[in-house]
Amino acid sequence: MSKKTKAILFIISAAFFFALMNTFVRLSGDLPSIQKSFFRNFIALIVAFGILRKSGIGFKPKKKNIKLLILRSTLGTMGILGNFYAVDHMSLADASMIQKLSPFLVIIFSFLFLKEKVKLYQIICVIGAFFGSLFVIKPGADIDIIPALVGLLGAVGAGSAYTAVRALSNNGEKGPVIVFFFSAFSCLVTLPYILFAYEPMSFNQIIMLLFAGFAAAGGQFSVTAAYSYAPAKEISVYDYSQVIFAAVFGFVVAGELPDMYSVIGYVIICSISVIMFILNNRQKN
């Protein structure tokens, strides 16, 4: 299996896990986004700790990558908080679609900061996917502007963080170390809120957040592996598959049905993903 094929499978796997994570976050009920973020990252931290201990990779990152790890963790934390707020105040599919503007930003940031070359057809495909997302977001319609803007800020954070993940992989940093560092950093940042403003949770809420944490761990390891195997320009468009997973989960758990415009957006995004796959293979041949 080629590296690009592995990257595509990992990015789709990440999309599935993150959509599942958002579903469990929604099911955890009315809790502060910061509190949800802490438990999500605490579970991912435990999983990463176990993998690092078993594999013998070690917990110490490369010294040259410390600053980049801090940057990745800061941006990633911003992305999580923005996403969780949007998930709590919008439909799952629409919140996920706003978050999936991050692939568009990843390609821009990779071009600007990593100097990765981008071909014309890749730019057109990503712009097309972004255009499809507008059918879901429906700016100017009945969408609440505040959750949308917070979600957009989260997408910027996520796109920047994934670009940093790519840079860290190019610098030889192992995926489990990146996930462990990020999870530990995010837990430390949100810990003061937990200590002084913790809201009691029911048993069901704790279970939902535990499931969200395990799903998040699967998503983190998958997305880290994906961007280590291939550059953003070749795989980021497949990240839009999360919207489809989110629409399915939203219907199953909350009875949310996408309107006609959202369906048109889903079709556009899926079609562009297929076109991107075909063109990438032709270019490689």
Half-sphere exposure of 112 (CA within 13 A, CB side): 10
63-67, 88-92, 108-112: which is most confident: 63-67
pTM of the shown model = 0.74
How far out from the chain centre does Cα 30 lie? 22
String of b and e for 20-53 (b: at least 16 CB within 10 Å)? bbbbbbbbbeebbbbbbbbbbbbbbbebbbebbe
Select the more confidently predicted residue: 211 or 91: 211
42 vs 26: CA distance, rounded Å: 18
Provide the pLDDT for residue 133. 72
3-state SS class at 120: helix
Provide the pLDDT for residue 185. 92
User: Count of CB atoms within 10 A of residue 269's CB?
Assistant: 25
Rounded mean pLDDT of 216-225?
Answer: 85
Handedness of CA 45, 235, 155, 246 (dihedral sign): negative
User: Count of CB atoms within 10 A of residue 77's CB?
Assistant: 23
Provide the pLDDT for residue 140. 58
Select the more confidently predicted residue: 5 or 134: 5
250 has a pLDDT exceeding 70: yes
Provide the pLDDT for residue 285. 62
Q: Is there a contact between 99 and 155 (Cβ–Cβ < 8 Å)?
A: yes
Q: Which long-range contacts (CB under 8 A, 24 or more apart) does 115-120 make?
A: 116/231, 116/232, 116/233, 117/233, 118/233, 119/233, 119/283
230 vs 122: CA distance, rounded Å: 14
The DSSP symbol for 59 reads S
Question: Where do the domains of the chain lie?
Answer: 3-284
143 has a pLDDT exceeding 60: no
Which region holds residue 155: left if phi is over 0, alpha if psi is between -120 and 50, else beta? alpha
138 has a pLDDT exceeding 90: no
